[in-house]
Chain A
Amino acid sequence: MRNRIINKLDLYRLFWRSFCLQAVWNFERMQNLGFLYILAPVLNKLYPEREKRIQSYGRHLEFFNTHPYFANVLVGIVARMEEEMAKGGEVKPEEISAVKMSMGGAFGGIGDSLFWGAWRPFTALIACVLVIIYSKKWEGAWLAPLIFLFLYNFLHFHTRIQGVMEGYERKTKVVGLLKKMYYLRTIWSSHIIGLALVLLTVLVLMFRDWQAIERLYFLAFFLSIVLLNRWRISSAKLLYLLVGISCVGAYIF
């Protein structure tokens, strides 16, 4: 059993502080101050001598950028490496920088496509569809946003806590963590469910809220927006297009 300086409570403290990662996000070195802020209690504990502590703070002022949730994996890894270095192990400061740089980029890519690209749109869509379909009777509709919050944050908090813990335990072998997170695979395939949900909602709206020939307008409008959006016309412009067309249309008819 190796003697540890960082205990479980410190790791939870890192987790709690990790919410502030982007508090001083800047274009020059991005999340560097957030990362230093998260790590500060651990650095204070590891380096009681003032001179070394100042040095360790200075080292973490370097550029750092990754996905905010997966940053916790790196927080865990760096805490462990700093601990080993403080105890006189053979970890060099350059190694810590290298790990922060290389793994930061990799986790950034994974996190962006996993959370921003797939999980958030998917959970948000579920809530939106629930509200739209149940909008005729309002008793239960307010539950939908809560469902979104719980679904989304289940994976979010799991990633944050596991990130710190596993990163600290396994160091750079943490890439295996991604294999362990088998549920990721189900999220990759969620876009098919998402497409089906959208189409179902369009059909429900078409037959519930519109009558006779108006249904065709509705469907034609949906399809044309799909096409226009495909050509990278932004949401705001599409909204103005809708306003313009309907105003002109009202004058003509």
Chain B
Amino acid sequence: MIAEILLVSFIGGLLSLDVSAWGQIMVSRPIISGPIIGLLLGDLKTGLIIGVLLELIWINVISVGAAIPPNATIVAVTCLALIILTERTLPVGNNFQGSYRMVVLALTMPLGEIFKRIDIKQRKLNARFVHYLDREIIKGNLKAVERVNYFSLFLFFLKGLLFSLVAISVGLYILPKLFSYLPFAILVGLNFAYRLLPALGLAIAFNTFRGL
């Protein structure tokens, strides 16, 4: 369990690099990062389903210019890790699998916004690197450009790793307790909500394409 959490956080850190810091080859999109986490935890099917649902929900997320959107990758990673790890503890043949998934989804959704705030903080602090290099280059220390780049990449990675590590650990502590408090009626309602979820994603996708 601990090894799996560490592995998922490590991969989460790498995937969150792809959002903007390195590459942007789109492995950070939920539709790719979902199945990757699913594969790591031995449940590719769940990874695909949740990945697709999240991709449709965040399909309109565009970072134009200096605007930083909520981070879909961190939501996909933590949400999937929590869903797969908590489903192992549920009794087999549970009728309310969808309801529990819905709870996890609703609880991890704000993480994208929180991560965005941290991201903005870091990008403000990155200006210090610029001032540092302003001084170093005049001094003639040209190698500093490369070092600052790699160090900043490492910080981006560390941020993703630590964030998903904390989020998954806290979630694993809270969620099983929360599940046992949920009354029957709420579970029925959440199950219905889970079945409606593709319609929510498709409606957002519809608007995205209508607005082009």
Q: How far is the CA of A144 from the CA of B35 in the complex (A)?
A: 10
Whether A125 is near chain B, meaning CB under 8 Å from some CB there, is yes
Cβ contact of B57, chosen from A27, A33, A44, A239, cutoff 8 A: A239
**B interface vs A, CB < 8 Å?**
20-27, 29, 31-32, 35, 44-45, 48-49, 51-52, 55-60, 62-66, 70, 102, 105-106, 109-110, 112-113, 123-124, 126-127, 129-130, 133-134, 137-138, 140, 142, 145-146, 148-150, 152-153, 156, 185-186, 188-190, 192-193, 195-210, 212
Q: Which residues of B contact A230 (CB under 8 A)?
A: 207
A1-39: CB near B (< 8 Å → 1, else 0) gives 000000000000000000110111111111011101100
Chain A: minimal CB distance from B13 (Å): 14
Given that A26-B129, A226-B207 are known contacts, is A239 also in contact with B109, CB under 8 Å in the complex?
Answer: yes
Q: Which residues of B contact A148 (CB under 8 A)?
A: 26, 29, 31-32
A36-74: CB near B (< 8 Å → 1, else 0) gives 110010001000001001100110010001001100000
Contact B130 A29 (CB under 8 A): yes
Q: How far is the CA of A226 from the CA of B204 in the complex (A)?
A: 6
Cβ contact of B55, chosen from A57, A128, A142, A242, cutoff 8 A: A128
Given that A236-B112, A246-B190 are known contacts, is A120 also in contact with B26, CB under 8 Å in the complex?
Answer: yes
Cβ contact of B140, chosen from A25, A54, A142, A195, cutoff 8 A: A54
Contact B186 A250 (CB under 8 A): yes
Contact B130 A32 (CB under 8 A): yes
Secondary structure at the B interface, as helix, strand, loop or mixed, is helix
Q: How far is the CA of A199 from the CA of B199 in the complex (A)?
A: 10
Q: Which residues of A contact B192 (CB under 8 A)?
A: 246, 249-250
User: Could you pull out 6 A-B pairs where Cβ atoms are within 8 angstroms?
Assistant: A25-B20, A57-B142, A68-B24, A112-B62, A118-B212, A145-B35
In the complex formed, the residue of B with least CB distance to A222 is: B199
Given that A145-B31, A229-B207, A243-B102 are known contacts, is A23 also in contact with B202, CB under 8 Å in the complex?
Answer: no
Given that A50-B140, A124-B29 are known contacts, is A247 also in contact with B207, CB under 8 Å in the complex?
Answer: no
Apart from the given pairs A26-B129, A145-B32, 8 other A-B contacts in the complex at a CB distance below 8 Å: A19-B23, A33-B149, A131-B52, A135-B49, A144-B48, A221-B199, A239-B105, A242-B193
Contact A205 B24 (CB under 8 A): no
In the complex formed, the residue of A with least CB distance to B51 is: A145
In the complex formed, the residue of A with least CB distance to B56 is: A128
Chain A residues with a Cβ closer than 8 Å to the other chain, count:
84
Contact A57 B137 (CB under 8 A): yes
Q: Which residues of B contact A68 (CB under 8 A)?
A: 20, 24
Contact B205 A198 (CB under 8 A): yes
Given that A117-B62, A195-B210 are known contacts, is A235 also in contact with B127, CB under 8 Å in the complex?
Answer: no
Q: Which residues of B contact A247 (CB under 8 A)?
A: 185-186, 189-190, 193
Q: How far is the CA of A246 from the CA of B31 in the complex (A)?
A: 26
Whether A177 is near chain B, meaning CB under 8 Å from some CB there, is no
Q: Which A87-101 residues sit within 8 Å CB-CB of chain B?
A: none
Contact A138 B204 (CB under 8 A): no
Cβ contact of B123, chosen from A25, A120, A245, A249, cutoff 8 A: A25
In the complex formed, the residue of A with least CB distance to B140 is: A54
Q: How far is the CA of A145 from the CA of B52 in the complex (A)?
A: 9
Contact B189 A19 (CB under 8 A): no
